[in-house]
Structure 1
Amino acid sequence: MTAVVTGVGVAAATGLSLSAHWEQVLEGRSAIGPITRFDSSRYPVKLAGEAGDFHTAEHVPSRIAVQTDRWTHLGLTAAAQALADAGIEPADQPEYEMAVVTASSSGGTEFGQREIHRLWSKGPDHVGAYQSIAWFYAATTGQISIRHGMRGSCGVVCTEQAGGLDAAARSRRLLSNGARMVLTGGTDASLCPYGLTAQLTTGRLSTQTDPAVAYRPFDRQADGYVPGEGGALFVMEEESAAVARGAPQIYGRLSGFASTFDPAPGSGRPPGLRRAAELALADAGLGPADIGVVFADAVGVPELDRQEAEAITALFGARGVPVTAPKTMTGRLYAGGAALDLVTAMLAVRDEVLPPTVGVVEPAPGYDLDLVLRARPAPVTAALVLARGYGGFNAAAVVTTTRS
């Protein structure tokens, strides 16, 4: 069974469509800037990748908008784009053969903050009934399922930044078990005081105030990452079925996947990222020489960057494969990050061009990576996407071309 992506929707700082996102990424234009969604003057983090052009009222019916969080609004928008792009009208499909699997990281933090404020300032009688569902990790999956009448297998994966790849892998399994199509991917929207405070506890966020150098993974001066919001959702189908129904396009194949979990600190055992990459290649039936580019997880924390660089060079050799991190233009999107990386990798393979990493001024010595700092034409037929979720989650996916 070969799983392919036939429709894509994007809602991120780099654009509210796939074409807008791809154009900005290839130009190397960072969308990171000052936080405007709330007054961040009292917080150490001042920058983010905001989806500034996104206005809920333009995309989500008002009766749904008041029941749900911005994270779900972004997900509903990307889902509608993906279905339209795939040429699928859900009402014409068997409802129990359409599945939904999304990734979630923090749930509906902005909605939850608003209701908590009401609780403490006005009392429990002022807490809305929708608080019980709007914050919940599965809210986006549920709302997409309801809105489009998708009554097949539905679920949510909560593995932070690795979630987008884990959700896609789960979707591939559903296709092999009889689902006709799966709407999958992930979004996040935690740019509110409550959400940012929760993120600060990791100690991994950059406190730089210059957007040009705030998020610079694998750089000598790397000191953390910038948070962002948004992500991508996409339609996955079995390839022969997609061809048979006349899908308008096929972006690429999800040919391999694997996930691992890091050992406990102090165990003396190595991190699990390299093993995840090796297993994903084996699942795809490919070797390191077949991979034309690696989309790095690229946390921007020196120790974690070093671990990832070691995993890449152990598998491909020193400067053995181009490495890129377009997320430097959006910030890390948590549940939405790997999903957006996955579709960006498919575009790179489709168009045979490697998108750049921005913000890196002086690559750190000793990493031995061939960092793509400007868009680079390349005859790439397969890409490896890496993702790590806070707490020890590792995921790796291989996407390949459909060109014969």
Structure 2
Amino acid sequence: MEFYLVWLQNHLLGVGSLLVTAILIYHYVIERDSGIKLSKRYRNAIFEAQSKIFLNATQHLISGDKNQAIREFLNAVDLNRETVETYFALGGLFRSNGEIDKAIGIHRSLIARENISETVRVHALHELAVDFDAGGFVEKAIETYLDVLKINPDQITVVQALCRIYENIEDWDQAFKYRVMLSKISSSGQEETIAHILVQKAKSMMAQGKFAECDEELCDAFRHAPSVSAKILRLKLMLIRGEIESAKSQLVDILNEHSEFVSFLFLTLGEEFQAEHQAQENYSVCLNLIWEFFLTLDEKNIVDSPSVVLSRIRLLKEMGRLQEAYVRLHEWMISSKNINEGLQIEYIKLLIDLGKIDQAVASMGQMLESMNRSQTRHFCQQCGYNSDEIFWRCPQCYQWETIQFRWKV
């Protein structure tokens, strides 16, 4: 099954051409039955010529020769300029070939026609929006997608495209608006994605020092879905307000349920925000208190997590407490049965920092014998995108919270 899906993706344009050929056959039958005043021999000649052209175009597409396929489609247009399906096929082929300006020209010419149905005109307008989108003309793409929605507000693919664009340019207000719209016209759940967008809005408010507005956005996010990012940002808001005990409880909750995201927690708590100098100092004091609390946690399901162990060691190193970091990691490596690559490398770095060169060399040799190399620290479980950077939303498939971790330093 997977083989057929891959084949279909690689030969999508070829399959599309076959579909267009089928449409032409349909039009031919309709024209024949409706009594168009053309001789049977002439109609048959046109149909046979078009069929041959589309067959040739399909063969060129399957073989990967897009330029020759384009020439065949142009021949089809010269033969019968009234067949709009040919224009759509040609426009899509130009777009996939990177010739955006030609695709735009074809779809604009269709829109300008007087003798086409409203359905065809809307289809051409949609294709024009996709052209602008593919060409990186963001403002024109948005404007054209919105024109399509004015005519047909229930086009799911258009709303999805607007969601993607607004999320890409980080216009979170508009992204929220169209995700809500998508939730009303689509059967797929949007609650978690909406929650993530609200967290992004909350982050923006926090960065500007608008903590009350940040809290409102977070509360709204929790009403949609209790995402990890929302919990982490709420922890930071508690620290800003000096609510240490609440922050401790929130930290334990995050580590119990989502210990693999502890590195995200470090990044979020370290991000800057606007506030008065005294408020910044108070936050630093509270942050140090929560880190000390983190280092003293002894709940087994938390301290046995490799991500928690690694984060603790790195925190101790940042504090300059190298010997304590070494003792903790050494004890953990002796007692643990499964030692991941990240902790092994961190252990070797500590040995070097402490001047234990011989021990570091011995540990390096042991690690090389069993090392399972990985290209990046993280990858997307949806599409396989690889990155050393942490991402809540995959830059490739645009899905939220699909990140998976590899233990690489």
**TM-score bracket, shorter-length normalisation:** under 0.3
TM-score using structure 2 length: 0.23
Q: Per chain length, whose mean CA-contact separation is higher, i.e. which structure has more relative contact order (CA < 8 Å, sep 6+)?
A: 1
TM-score using structure 1 length: 0.24
Q: Which has the higher helix share?
A: 2
